[in-house]
């Protein structure tokens, strides 16, 4: 099977998976919800353990956004179960989201998650998927660098605000250096609107206007 990572704007592919919560059909299982699909190199590894704890610590915040989490690595379901037990018993954190067992590598290959220069382990990839099953963002990390879960939360919040209000989200939002927690108005596409927009919003120029929500 050819290894090709799906692109932003494409539908998340239909996959039947075995997880620590049983067999699931993706993305249909999360139909009508946002979900974050993430891969990790392997169970019982230090960086991955810190990531799972970090995801779980923010799980309630994701759920408040109507967003679910699901992990994956090329390990058997027995390994996932034992690792989750170890995290619970030793770190006092109960992992409540499912983890896909992809010991055949079929799912990872379909999603382009195996780096040819890194052996058979999956890379640290993140797919943010919206309720219409469309991939909205992709993050791709090396094995040696753990992810920032607050940024993934920020992305989901930003997408939801952008979709609801038809606005753009500035850098480092909601702590942007220029407009703080405000959002950006899409630039006008004609002269008349360009003249009118500066009367309606706070603007640096007609092509850079912003507002509070």
pLDDT digits (tens, 9 = 90+) for 86-106: 999 999 999 999 999 998 888
The DSSP bridge partners found for residue 116 are none
pLDDT at 36 over 70: yes
The pLDDT value given to residue 148: 97
CB atoms within 10 A of CB 104: 11
pLDDT at 2 over 60: no
Strands 67-73, 99-101: pairing kind: parallel
The pLDDT value given to residue 3: 54
- List the alpha helices (DSSP H) in 65-147: 77-91, 106-111
Is the CATH number 3.40.1010.10 carried by domain 15-147?
no
Q: Tell me: the pLDDT tens digits for 118-140?
A: 656 778 899 999 999 999 999 99
**15-147 and 166-213, same CATH topology:** no
Catalytic residue among 48, 67, 203, 209: 48
Distance CA 17, CA 12 (A): 14
pTM: 0.93
| Domain segments of the chain as ranges | 15-147, 166-213
- 48 assigned to active site: yes
Q: At 208, give phi and psi (nearest 5°).
A: -140, 80
What CATH code would you report for 166-213? 3.30.1020.10
The pLDDT value given to residue 197: 96
pLDDT at 1 over 50: no
């Amino acid at each position: 099977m050819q290894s090709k990572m799906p692109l932003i704007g494409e539908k998340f592919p239909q996959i039947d998976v075995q997880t620590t919560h049983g067999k699931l059909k993706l993305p249909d299982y999360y139909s009508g919800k946002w979900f974050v699909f993430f891969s990790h190199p392997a169970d019982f590894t230090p960086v991955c353990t810190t990531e799972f704890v970090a995801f779980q610590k923010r799980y309630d915040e994701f759920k408040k956004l109507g967003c679910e989490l699901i992990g994956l690595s090329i390990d058997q379901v027995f390994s996932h179960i034992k690792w989750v037990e170890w995290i619970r018993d030793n770190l006092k954190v109960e992992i409540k989201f499912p983890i896909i067992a992809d010991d055949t590598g079929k799912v990872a290959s379909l999603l382009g998650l195996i780096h040819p220069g890194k052996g058979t382990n999956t890379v640290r990839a993140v797919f943010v998927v919206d309720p219409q099953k469309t991939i909205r963002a992709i993050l791709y990390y090396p094995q040696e660098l753990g992810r920032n879960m607050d940024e993934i939360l920020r992305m989901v919040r930003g997408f939801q605000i952008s979709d609801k209000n038809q606005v753009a989200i500035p850098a480092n939002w909601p702590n942007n250096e220029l407009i703080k927690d405000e959002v950006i108005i899409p630039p006008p596409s004609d002269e008349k609107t360009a003249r009118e927009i500066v009367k309606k919003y706070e603007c640096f120029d007609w092509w850079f206007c912003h507002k509070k929500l």
